[in-house]
Amino acid sequence: MRLTFEIQDLRTRHAFHIARAAAPPTRPTVWVRITDDEGHEGWGEASASPYYGETVDTVAALLPRFAEAIGAAEPFDPLRLEALEAAVARTVRRNPAARASVSAALHDLAGKRLGVPVWTLWGLSPQAVTSSFTIGIDSPERVRERIAEAAEYPILKVKVGTPRDAEILAMIRTEAPDKKLRVDANTGWTVKGALRLLPVLEECGVELIEEPLPADDHDGLRLLRERSTIPIIADESCRTADDIPRLAGCVDGINIKVAKCGSLREAVRMVHIARAHRLRVMLGCMVESTLGIAASIQLAPLVDDVDLDGAALLADDPFTGPGLERDGRIRFNDAPGLGVQRS
Ligand code: MG
């Protein structure tokens, strides 16, 4: 088999800011292709996030090493996925998006060789699930425009973590009185600030609070959870399955992202370990094309909450395949592998 890759720009429809990072409307991404000796191609996307120590350059630097680790010269054996992922993980401990792109490409290739969708490889079947749609941090006028554009989505996830949170949330609640509202502070609050905002969040009927505090503030999370009637979900605090046991008791659930945990198999392992700790499980994403989102959708039947709108935020998506309908419902497909086509 042979591993090749290309770097391309993804353009979001609007600038997309979160509490810990302002983001330009264009961001580079890496597409990985693994071709086997029969001509099948497995594809994966590496959505590199500087917060987790990655850029397209670090991804590009590692991919040739991963190619070597999986024995790119050897014939591909779809039954050795676990060993191939382990070989990639032994090459480098961190760099999860780079590893995840190879994991996705290997799973895509295995599904294509066996003629089944990746979800079938795990004994899953498509379920009726609806994703939230994310509203970034912006001026009240722009947020109002975004809410109007998101009219068909029944669940909104609102990025918070600015001095205007209370004002913005009250405005959103007025504009969208019937939608489910979730908030994500991306580590942007202090315990004191979060406690002060709790009555506003409860008043607005917010149903989930994601990553309110700095990622290592477990005591703060525990205290906030004791005071909050709204469930708290760990995202930045929970990178891999190993983080889960010490978060139990501090949060109500975790947000799994394939590009954050490093592989599809690690994501499945996180689901199992979270369930063992009676935690709610959310499946999230980065700003990714349908190629990246399709890898996560394979896991959607395993989780409680889905936030897979990364490709829905793009101005143009170079891939078609599994994704979100205009009303946020997750669309699976029966095509082998990840079910993605380059358009
Ligand atoms: Mg988050």
CA of 3 to the centre of ligand 1 (A): 31
CA 145, 149, 153, 157 torsion-angle sign: negative
Q: Is the pLDDT of residue 73 over 80?
A: no
What local confidence, expressed as pLDDT, does residue 130 receive? 97
Cα–Cα dist 2/183, whole Å = 42
CA of 107 to the centre of ligand 1 (A): 25
- Mean pLDDT confidence for 42-59: 97
The burial of 118, by beta-carbon neighbours within 10 Å (0-12 exposed, 13-18 middle, 19 or more buried), is given as buried
pLDDT digits (tens, 9 = 90+) for 112-150: 999 999 999 999 999 999 999 999 999 999 999 999 999
Query: For the chain, what is the mean pLDDT?
Result: 96
What local confidence, expressed as pLDDT, does residue 24 receive? 79
- Mean pLDDT confidence for 153-163: 97
CA of 316 to the centre of ligand 1 (A): 23
CA of 286 to the centre of ligand 1 (A): 9
Confidence of residue 293 (pLDDT cuts 50, 70, 90): very high
CA of 216 to the centre of ligand 1 (A): 15
**Which of left, alpha, beta for 12 (phi over 0: left; psi -120 to 50: alpha)?**
beta
Retrieve residue 22's tokens. Answer: 């302002």
CA of 336 to the centre of ligand 1 (A): 30
- Mean pLDDT confidence for 86-94: 94
Confidence of residue 21 (pLDDT cuts 50, 70, 90): confident
Cα–Cα dist 96/63, whole Å = 12
Q: Is the pLDDT of residue 23 over 90?
A: no
The H or E element that residue 223 is part of is: helix 218-227
- Mean pLDDT confidence for 184-213: 98
Q: To the nearest 10°, the Cα dihedral for 71, 73, 77, 81?
A: 30
Cα–Cα dist 106/232, whole Å = 34
% of the chain exceeding 70 in pLDDT: 100
In terms of DSSP bridges, do strands 180-184 and 155-159 run parallel, antiparallel, or are they unpaired? parallel
CA of 184 to the centre of ligand 1 (A): 6
**Which of left, alpha, beta for 53 (phi over 0: left; psi -120 to 50: alpha)?**
left
CA of 41 to the centre of ligand 1 (A): 32
CA of 39 to the centre of ligand 1 (A): 38
Cα–Cα dist 57/115, whole Å = 34
- Mean pLDDT confidence for 216-229: 98
- Mean pLDDT confidence for 241-250: 98
Q: Which residues of 304-318 are buried (b: 16+ CB within 10 A; e: fewer)?
A: ebbbbbbbbbbeebe
CA of 185 to the centre of ligand 1 (A): 7
In this prediction the pTM is 0.96
- Mean pLDDT confidence for 265-293: 98
Interacting residues of 99 by C-beta distance below 8 A, sequence separation 6+: 66, 85, 88, 89, 92, 262, 263
DSSP three-state, residue 80:
helix
What local confidence, expressed as pLDDT, does residue 35 receive? 95
Interacting residues of 306 by C-beta distance below 8 A, sequence separation 6+: 129, 130, 131, 132, 282, 283, 300, 330
At CA 90, angle to CA 84 and CA 96, rounded to 5?
Answer: 85
CA of 154 to the centre of ligand 1 (A): 19
CA of 59 to the centre of ligand 1 (A): 22
CA 213, 215, 219, 221 torsion-angle sign: positive
Confidence of residue 165 (pLDDT cuts 50, 70, 90): very high
Q: What is the largest CA-CA distance in the chain?
A: 61
What local confidence, expressed as pLDDT, does residue 305 receive? 97
Contact 143, 168 (CB under 8 A): yes
**Number of neighbours of residue 39 by Cβ within 10 angstroms:** 6
- Mean pLDDT confidence for 81-108: 96
CA of 187 to the centre of ligand 1 (A): 9
What local confidence, expressed as pLDDT, does residue 22 receive? 80
All structural domains of the chain, each given as residue ranges with its CATH number in brackets, are 2-115 (3.30.390.10), 133-342 (3.20.20.120)
7 to 16, 28, 40, 59: CA distances (angstroms): 21, 7, 21, 10
Cα–Cα dist 122/295, whole Å = 13
| Eight-state DSSP code of residue 75 | P
What local confidence, expressed as pLDDT, does residue 20 receive? 85
DSSP letters, 125-152, are -----BB-EEE-B--HHHHHHHHHHTTT
